[in-house]
Amino acid sequence: MEIRKAERRDLQALLDIYNYEVEHGVATLDLQPKDLAQWELWFDAHNVENHPLLAAETDGHVAGYASLSDYREKEAYKSTVELSVYIAPGDRRKGVATALMEAILAEARRDERTHTVVSVITAGNEASVRLHKRFGFVFCGTIREVGMKFGRYLDIENYSLTV
């Protein structure tokens, strides 16, 4: 497996991984799949400033990605980033998430502009919770019934790590 900076040639694979979760899971609370034009805007907001976007490539295909994005728009939040890690369904439970998490946190630690990494996890995603705890993230609280997907209200759990 190779962890590398995501490239424009990865766009469709990254979009497919994300849209799978939109349509089948609750790791994102987006309800409608993104299109390529929307995903290009998202892509262009990464690998600039303290917002890296990394891809995991295995056997010639993108198996997952990790990104650090704006946490909030207000200037005082610039040193805080929000972490996202998404893995293709066929590549889960193969160490891809762990490798991406290790690499993206190393990027955060190297960047003096980054102080805190925040992760918002939909309640019940125990694999994600275990991954975050393994890397030292601290539970910061639950917001109850904040989103509705697949006909039910979902809670989110907030985690943070000072790098």
Q: What are 78-104's pLDDT values in tens digits? A: 999 999 999 999 999 999 999 999 999
Q: What distance in Å separates the CA atoms of residue 160 and residue 78, rounded to the nearest whole number?
A: 15
Percent of the chain's residues with pLDDT above 90: 100
Buried b (16+ CB within 10 A) or exposed e, 104-123: bbebbeebeebeebbbbbbb
pTM for this model (two decimals): 0.96
- Cβ atoms of 131 and 158 within 8 Å: the answer is no
Mean pLDDT, range 122-132, rounded to an integer: 96
Confidence tier at 127 by pLDDT (50, 70, 90): very high
Q: What distance in Å separates the CA atoms of residue 62 and residue 113, rounded to the nearest whole number?
A: 28
- Cβ atoms of 49 and 85 within 8 Å: the answer is no
Say whether 12 sits in a helix, a strand or coil.
helix
| Phi, psi at 125, each rounded to 5° | -85, 75
